[in-house]
A and B are shown apart, each in its own frame.
Chain A
Amino acid sequence: MSVAQVAELPADTVSTIEERTPFQIVMMRFRRHRLAMVSLILMTAIFIITIFAPVIAPFEVQELSVNKYFVPWGTVDEATGRVHYLGTDHIGRDYFSRLIYAGRISLTVALLSIFIAEVVGIVVGSISGFFGGWLDAVLMRFVEFMLTIPTLPLLLILSSMLLRNEELIPIPDVVLKFLGNIMLLSPRDARNAVMIVLILAGLGWLQSAQLMRGMVLSLREQTFVEASRSLGASNFRIITRDMIPNAMAPIIVDASLGLAGFIVLEAALAFLGFGIQDPIPTWGNMLAATQAHMLSRPWLPLVPGLPIFICSLAFNYIGDGLRDALDPRLKL
């Protein structure tokens, strides 16, 4: 198509790169990553299922079917006509319903933890990077050291201490009630989940703080920050208006990869018995419970195990896709 031909076309059919908004460009690049798209669709589906858990699940979370332990999948409950899609567990609770409710709890815990971790990380990282000095030195030494300690032993020691001493960190009842409503738990059970959130977030912010600090250090030298300052902008304004929006790309990538990590860590804690405890369903403790019955029912671990794997994989792919889309230079 020659220049003359293009000029003859009606104006609205000609679209050049410059006319796309940054968001459109990112979406376009993201769509190119096929596995990330598949993962995104899959996760959306899982989210919708868990949001409508009370509607979809045929049974209550704690509802026991007496004398129906380990019924095979597809068994119909004669009294009410409801179907045990995936059978029942060792004390007669419906597997499918528990799986959905567990997903709701596991995903909420992971999302909340990553949110808190990123917010704290952004705040600490930008303060540390922006102001520098001894505060920066002390903070970053601490972060570095904490990051080198093996994660799991640290998480275990924290959770074993906090779970036995839940009153140690006071959490307002309003928060518990609110989060309990999201996770469909009583405020008392919600405390257990919130503890795990705090523990995960308590270690999760380290990495994002380091990331944010690095970003701030490089942004500090940019001309637009200088321009802001010469216009008389306050430090607070520079940090919130210039630094944080420009550092968002790597933070978002970090968050989506961190989400995968948190889902696995939460499940690992529950699996080892130091996470969310049994009557509250999570994929991790459901998996741990299947271990005792593996001899006679070898397929059983797949039921809670696969969702953990799928979510972890999906968030990894989404993170990978986002990294490609947001910042092609970051690609490994």
Chain B
Amino acid sequence: MTAYLIRRVFQMIIVVLVSAVATYGLLNLAPGGPLAGLRQIQQSSRFQITEEDIARIRAYFELDLYLPYRFSRWLIGEPRGPVVIGGREFLSDMVVGCRKPVETEVLNNRGVYEFKVTGCNEYVYLKDLVGRRTSRGILFGDFGLSWRLLRDRPVSELLLSRLPKTVQLIGLSTLFSILIGIPLGVYSAVKQYTRFDYFFTSLAFMGSAMPTFFFGILMILAFSLIPKNAGLPYVPAGLSESVRDYAIPLIGDVAAGSLKDRVLHLVLPVSVLTLVNISFWTRFIRSSMLEVLRQDYVRTARAKGLGERIVIMKHALRNALIPFVTIVVFTLPGLFSGAIITESIFAWPGMGRLYLLALGDYDYPVAMSIFFIIAILTVIATLLRDILYTIVDPRIRLS
């Protein structure tokens, strides 16, 4: 077991590193970013932006460093300056970037003129990095500063402000899905081919084919917009709490930001997520339960004269839930990826929406941090799943 764990942790580290390289590479290939607007301003004559300004801004965003150095500073916060060994500085004249690149307009193969970097006027050396602001590296929990969404504030601050909202949403909906989904699935399996089973399996089938975004909109229409227009009791949709006080028929006055207000705002997104989850989970539980009910030990239990209830709850359900561990464990990365679609429909200020905003707004540090955390949590969830399997199912041995 220990040897297995050590090997797995080693594999995890490699996977995390590779995904870090991949994400960073991907987003750095994308154009745009803080300099996209600058070039346009530079072309309009009202603002005189000198070459020096651009160099300063490039340095500010570390865009003057070459990709490997930039990446290593992002990942582990190094290099910060010349290598010091025994009080002596080495490599201080190593070129690590270009402060003022020469850009020429060249005709590309599509017949369009575009700027290409063709040389360098002023290099950045390793010794210039001394005293530059730098993060301690994403591997050590420092995600750097946000570029756009919350300019110059640490990304972690942004993430932490959004995290509770997503935890609320995912936590509640996972809880409800388990509480409702498992009994439904078990009951369907036990009463296989009855009217109840047919009804719920076809409902679950349709539910899993239903796109979340359409379902969310339908829910808003059915429980928020239409009843509101008709003067009936409704549930608010959008944001996690209201900006001003409002009144709902039958429910009464609701103060903005009160507990009642926040609970009311949770209703729709949580129900959408829960229903979507349930439609997948009941099908899963039902088939795994059916599989188990065919097993010999269930027949043995019945033959011993045990009550049907005990057979199902103790003998069958426990074993049917083993594959379910996977699903539950993988809600962990879900906490960070959030429910992107649900959050965006309901304007829920959680992680998923933050991720969308960051991607849409060229805020690479934020987007990369979220994706990186998702990757790490996925790796951890995989390990957790394998370990949990050995606990819930002693037949499985890790080696």
Q: Verify that A and B bind, or say they do not.
A: yes
Q: Which residues of A contact B (CB under 8 A)?
A: 145, 148-150, 152-154, 156-158, 160-161, 164-165, 167-168, 260, 264, 267-268, 271-274, 287, 291, 294-295, 298, 301, 305, 308-309, 312-313, 316-317, 320, 332
Q: With A149-B374, A153-B355 known to touch, is A272 a contact of B206 (CB < 8 Å)?
A: no
Of the 9-residue stretches B90-98, B208-216, B296-304, B305-313, which lies at the interface with chain A? B208-216
Residues of B within 8 A of A152 (CB): 337, 340-341
Residues of A within 8 A of B379 (CB): 145
Q: Is B69 an interface residue (CB 8 A)?
A: no
Which positions 303-338 of chain B face chain A at CB distance < 8 Å? 330, 333-334, 337
Residues A156 and B356 in contact, CB atoms below 8 Å apart: yes
Residues A272 and B210 in contact, CB atoms below 8 Å apart: no
Q: How far is A153 from B358 in the complex, measured between Cα atoms in Å?
A: 12
Q: How far is A137 from B265 in the complex, measured between Cα atoms in Å?
A: 48
Residues B27 and A161 in contact, CB atoms below 8 Å apart: yes
Residues of B within 8 A of A287 (CB): 213-214, 217
CB distance from B127 to the nearest CB of A (A): 34
Of the 9-residue stretches B158-166, B218-226, B391-399, which lies at the interface with chain A? B218-226
Q: How far is A168 from B226 in the complex, measured between Cα atoms in Å?
A: 46
Q: Which residues of B contact A (CB under 8 A)?
A: 15, 23, 26-27, 29-32, 110, 205-206, 208-214, 217-218, 220-221, 225-226, 229, 283, 287, 330, 333-334, 337, 340-341, 344-345, 355-356, 359-360, 367, 370-371, 374-375, 378-379, 381-382
Given A157-B26, A312-B211, 10 more A-B residue pairs with CB atoms under 8 Å apart are A145-B382, A150-B337, A164-B32, A291-B217, A291-B345, A294-B220, A294-B221, A298-B226, A313-B209, A316-B209
CB distance from A111 to the nearest CB of B (A): 18
CB distance from B171 to the nearest CB of A (A): 17
Residues B217 and A305 in contact, CB atoms below 8 Å apart: yes
CB distance from A137 to the nearest CB of B (A): 11
Residues of A within 8 A of B23 (CB): 157
Residues of A within 8 A of B371 (CB): 153-154, 157
Residues of A within 8 A of B31 (CB): 164-165
Residues of A within 8 A of B211 (CB): 264, 267-268, 305, 308-309, 312
CB distance from B201 to the nearest CB of A (A): 9
Give 20 CB contacts A-B under 8 Å.
A145-B378, A145-B379, A145-B382, A148-B381, A149-B333, A150-B334, A157-B23, A157-B27, A160-B359, A160-B360, A161-B30, A164-B32, A264-B209, A267-B213, A298-B229, A301-B214, A305-B217, A308-B211, A309-B211, A313-B206
